[in-house]
Amino acid sequence: LPSQLQPHVSRPEDSSFLHDMFRERSLHSLIKVTPLSDELQGQSSNGEIKELLALLSRPHVKSLLSVHDTVAQQNYDPELPPLPEDLDDDEDSVKIIRLVKNKEPLGATIRQDDHTGAILIARIMRGGAADRSGLIHVGDELKEEIIRILAQSQGAITFKLVPGAKEEAPIKEPKVFMKALFDYSPMEDKAIPCKEAGLGFKKGAILHIVSQDDATWWQAKDEEEAHPRAGLIPSKQFQERRFALRQPVATLPSTFRSSTRRSSFGFRRSFRLSRRDKKTNKSMYECKKSELYDTADVPTYEEVAQYRRHSGARHRLVVLVGPTGVGMNALKRKLLISDPQHFSVTIPHTSRPKKNQETDGVEYHFIAKHLFETDIQHNKFIEYGEFKGNYYGTSMDSIRSVMAKSKVCLIDIQPHSIKHLRTSEFKPFVVFIKPPSVERLRETRKHAKFISGKDDKASGRTFTEEDFQEMVQVAQQMETQYGHLFEKVIVNDDLSAAFSELRQALKRIENEVHWVPISWTHS
């Protein structure tokens, strides 16, 4: 071979280099691999040669050799069809993109430029086909009537793009997680730029927000899906804005808790307060601030982070809410009996005189009326009310003192008070106790006493049909207005089943990783 190259190699050092190279043994072995097996065929009597032949004829060795040859010959470039003939040579930068497309959408939305009329890539869905290709960027202009072709075709598609002014820097996926506080269906959303690119979700879903670049449409993945792909969701600002423009939602009327008829027996569950003063028909409940629906709290998204309680750390406060008579006391009682060392309830305050058999700090904290009023002014109570001229209330400090004993504190409050407890100190786990259907209430509560407290046995009576209707209706209203604050909903149909569901849920939040508002994890 060197002699054959002689006419082309003039310098002696080139000639000696080639000579040395072609004498290299490794090169010889490489060249000889294939002819070797042909040579060996003739000498197959020798055992070692037979074994070598068998090895060389194995499919995977053959494949390896074939791959080697393909790579050596640089034979791996795909065969592209000829470039489109109408390519404008004057256009200095046109990208010819060839994508092999499967059933998955391209993962890009387009828009028309208001001035030029050009079709531009509006956004690239994170993790979608276009994003993974790394070839298409926001602002790129589509040069052909490609949209229809893209939507309809599968397999290899070739099209032209004029690159946008600036190429996007590679983006790191932000680790932002939001809990959805409303149900969303892109198919019913008239504003979404592309329904197919939308991501539907239910209240309570945990969404991984992968892009907030666009002020109106975020991109998110549903963390609970097996193969989450980014989809468009309305941004927090946008959702709040359009929510504000809508008709105000039906809010719970301040009279929802009882009728005047109810007032004669409507004793408060936790501290046996009348829900409504029968003379003034005024609600017996006050909370620290206005109980009117706070329009600033438009339920959109809440940023969350994963949280696990360290052993020895304080327990989350367990808050039960629900319509009167649904069974919150019954459930609390069952929890207390099931593990009195673990669960506890608060001791209410009252300004009424202590009875003989009572002990201060056991049934109630007995305090003077003027001191009670001072405490009200200092926002010491999560809820308080007046009954027969005496105050009754649950103080924040009474919750703190239970939590400080490393016990799980159980309270039941009106839903409008929840927001005052939503702090990193209390980390409330809000459970909505929901009544079953009226039919099931009729069956299960046949012999139940509506008012079941020990203080007011005399006022105990069985449920009426009207009580059931109201319980279901109030529950519906509570869910509509405050549903975004409920972390768990338990239907109290069969009491033991509801109890074990509650017990399970409490075990989970005590021991397992779960999502809480991100601000609760910073302290």
Ligand X SMILES: Nc1ncnc2c1ncn2[C@@H]1O[C@H](COP(=O)(O)OP(=O)(O)OP(=O)(O)O)[C@@H](O)[C@H]1O
Q: How far apart are CA 156 and CA 154, in angstroms?
A: 7
Which residue lies nearer to ligand X by CB, 111 or 449?
Answer: 449
| Sheet containing 176-180, strands listed edge to edge, beginning at the edge strand earlier in sequence | 231-234, 217-222, 206-211, 176-180, 301-307, 514-517
Which residue lies nearer to ligand X by CB, 128 or 325?
Answer: 325
In the complex, least distance from residue 316 CB atom to ligand X, rounded to whole angstroms? 21
In the complex, least distance from residue 490 CB atom to ligand X, rounded to whole angstroms? 10
Binder to ligand X among 107, 198, 325, 483 (CB under 6 A)?
A: 325
Stretch of 349-357, 364-372, 400-408, 446-454 contacting ligand X, by CB under 6 A: 446-454
Q: Please tell me the number of Cα atoms within 13 Å of 228 on its side-chain side.
A: 20
What is the chain's length?
523
Is residue 503 near ligand X by the rule CB under 6 A?
Answer: no
Is residue 390 near ligand X by the rule CB under 6 A?
Answer: no
Which residue lies nearer to ligand X by CB, 251 or 329?
Answer: 329
Which residue lies nearer to ligand X by CB, 345 or 485?
Answer: 345
Question: What is the DSSP code string of 193-222?
Answer: S-GGGB--B-TT-EEEEEE--SSSEEEEEE
In the complex, least distance from residue 365 CB atom to ligand X, rounded to whole angstroms? 20
Q: How far apart are CA 321 and CA 382, in angstroms?
A: 14
Is residue 330 near ligand X by the rule CB under 6 A?
Answer: yes
In the complex, least distance from residue 452 CB atom to ligand X, rounded to whole angstroms? 4
Which residues between 27 and 66 bind ligand X (CB under 6 A)? none
For residue 352, give both structure tokens.
């009424």
Q: How far apart are CA 143 and CA 161, in angstroms?
A: 6
Binder to ligand X among 444, 459, 473, 476 (CB under 6 A)?
A: 444
Binder to ligand X among 452, 459, 519, 521 (CB under 6 A)?
A: 452
Q: How far apart are CA 451 and CA 435, in angstroms?
A: 16
- Using CB under 6 A, count the residues that bind ligand X: 19
Q: Residue 349: phi, psi to the nearest 5?
A: -100, 150
Q: How far apart are CA 128 and CA 139, in angstroms?
A: 17
Question: What is the DSSP code string of 344-378?
Answer: EEPPPEE-SPPPTT--BTTTBEE--HHHHHHHHHT
Which residue lies nearer to ligand X by CB, 400 or 503?
Answer: 503
Binder to ligand X among 109, 324, 350, 394 (CB under 6 A)?
A: 324
Stretch of 1-9, 172-180, 282-290, 440-448 contacting ligand X, by CB under 6 A: 440-448
Stretch of 205-213, 281-289, 327-335, 464-472 contacting ligand X, by CB under 6 A: 327-335
Burial annotation 272-311 (CB, 10 A radius, 16+ → b, else e):
bbbbbbeeeeebbbbbbeebeeeeeebbbbbebeebebee
In the complex, least distance from residue 474 CB atom to ligand X, rounded to whole angstroms? 11
Which residues between 158 and 177 bind ligand X (CB under 6 A)? none
Beta bridge partners of 101: 155
In the complex, least distance from residue 204 CB atom to ligand X, rounded to whole angstroms? 23
Which residue lies nearer to ligand X by CB, 269 or 314?
Answer: 269
In the complex, least distance from residue 488 CB atom to ligand X, rounded to whole angstroms? 16
Is residue 336 near ligand X by the rule CB under 6 A?
Answer: no
Q: How far apart are CA 458 and CA 452, in angstroms?
A: 10
Which residues between 234 and 293 bind ligand X (CB under 6 A)? 269
Which residue lies nearer to ligand X by CB, 403 or 498?
Answer: 498
Residues with Cβ < 8 Å from 220, sequence gap 6 or more? 178, 199, 207, 208, 209, 210, 230, 231, 233
Q: How do strand 155-162 and strand 141-142 relate by DSSP bridges?
A: antiparallel
Binder to ligand X among 199, 328, 408, 413 (CB under 6 A)?
A: 328
Which residue lies nearer to ligand X by CB, 330 or 336?
Answer: 330
Which residues between 477 and 496 bind ligand X (CB under 6 A)? 492, 494-495
Distances (CA, A) of 230 to 131, 135, 208, 462: 11, 18, 9, 53
In the complex, least distance from residue 449 CB atom to ligand X, rounded to whole angstroms? 4
Binder to ligand X among 94, 448, 472, 489 (CB under 6 A)?
A: 448
For residue 334, give both structure tokens.
């069952």
In the complex, least distance from residue 419 CB atom to ligand X, rounded to whole angstroms? 20
In contact, 269 and 453? CB cutoff 8 Å: yes
For residue 393, give both structure tokens.
């209330």
Binder to ligand X among 276, 314, 407, 445 (CB under 6 A)?
A: 445
Instruction: Tell me the residue number closest to ligand X, measured at CB.
Output: 269
Q: How far apart are CA 213 and CA 20, in angstroms?
A: 61
Q: What is the binding site for ligand X (CB under 6 A)?
A: 269, 322, 324-330, 444-445, 448-450, 452, 492, 494-495, 498
